[in-house]
């Protein structure tokens, strides 16, 4: 091996083991855990619509700080500020994750051929996390930006957004992508940082959570569509 080759190899391995690479891994894991836990909570809060309009209304008032207002009504500014925070976390997470994305079409094709030739389940899980991450790069900011610019939430207001503003098209694509990406991500983080060595059991839990979360998400979306179809414009916010 000549000196030029040795130098290029030295640079290559140095970059792989650089302090920044280790730090980026920690940042990616930390932000991924934050976003995964947020998704678990978010889908369950949203699914309160399945218990009726009044149940969802009270959940929204509680989350928006209704306990701290004299009227008992929540403050939409809470949703706006929290949405901005989530957007910043998503940006940081995406920024450190992009370094692992195939940069060229040929690399994607090579990766796809490689995946077809192996039967390693964790490698296939990583591939689908990569694909869903690419989808979320375009869809997630749209949803979050909508919540920043229009933070009003309620049974009627949310149903108006879903049905009359046709946001169900976005959510129908976003829901499976974000659930699959998040659950595979939490699975990989748990293995990577040694939280468990039981791959088979953890993989089963991840699959159950994916099916469960997509199910309650779809049922919630259908509920909003049914409510929205019964509403007439202009929308009157729901009050028990």
pLDDT category at 125 given cuts 50, 70, 90 is: confident
Question: pLDDT: is 10 or 137 the higher one?
Answer: 137
pLDDT at 92: 96
Which residue ranges form the domains of the chain, and what is each CATH number? 26-230 (1.20.1300.10)
**pLDDT for 96-113, tens place per residue?**
988 766 655 555 565 666
pLDDT, position 27:
92
**129-158: buried (b, 16+ CB within 10 Å) or exposed (e) per residue?**
bbebbebbeebbeebbeebbeebbbbbbbb
Q: Is the pLDDT of residue 116 over 90?
A: no
Average pLDDT, the chain: 85
pLDDT in tens, 35-64: 999 999 999 999 999 999 999 999 999 999
pLDDT tens digits, 16-34: 456 777 788 889 999 999 9
Looking at residue 97, what is its pLDDT? Answer: 86
User: What's the rounded mean pLDDT across residues 203-208?
Assistant: 94
Q: Reply yes or no on whether the pLDDT at 128 is more than 50.
A: yes
């Amino acid at each position: 091996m000549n000196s030029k080759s040795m130098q290029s190899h030295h640079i290559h391995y140095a970059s792989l083991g650089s302090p920044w690479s280790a730090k980026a891994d920690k940042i990616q894991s930390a932000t991924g855990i934050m976003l995964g836990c947020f998704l678990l909570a978010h889908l369950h809060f949203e699914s309160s619509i399945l218990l009726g309009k009044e149940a969802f209304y009270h959940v929204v008032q509680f989350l928006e700080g209704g306990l701290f207002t004299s009227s008992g009504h929540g403050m939409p500014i809470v949703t706006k500020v929290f949405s901005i925070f989530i957007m910043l976390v998503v940006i940081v997470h995406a920024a450190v994750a992009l370094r692992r994305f195939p940069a060229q079409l040929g690399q994607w094709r090579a990766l796809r051929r490689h995946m077809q030739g192996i039967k390693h389940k964790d490698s296939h899980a990583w591939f689908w996390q990569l694909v869903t991450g690419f989808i979320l790069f375009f869809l997630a900011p749209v949803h979050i930006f909508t919540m920043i610019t229009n933070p009003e939430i309620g049974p009627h207001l949310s149903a108006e957004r879903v049905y009359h503003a046709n946001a169900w098209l976005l959510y129908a694509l976003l829901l499976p992508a974000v659930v699959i990406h998040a659950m595979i991500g939490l699975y990989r983080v748990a293995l990577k940082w040694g939280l468990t060595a039981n791959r088979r059991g953890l993989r089963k839990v991840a699959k159950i959570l994916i099916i469960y979360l997509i199910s309650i998400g779809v049922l919630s979306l259908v509920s909003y569509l049914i409510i929205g179809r019964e509403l007439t414009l202009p929308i009157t916010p729901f009050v028990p």
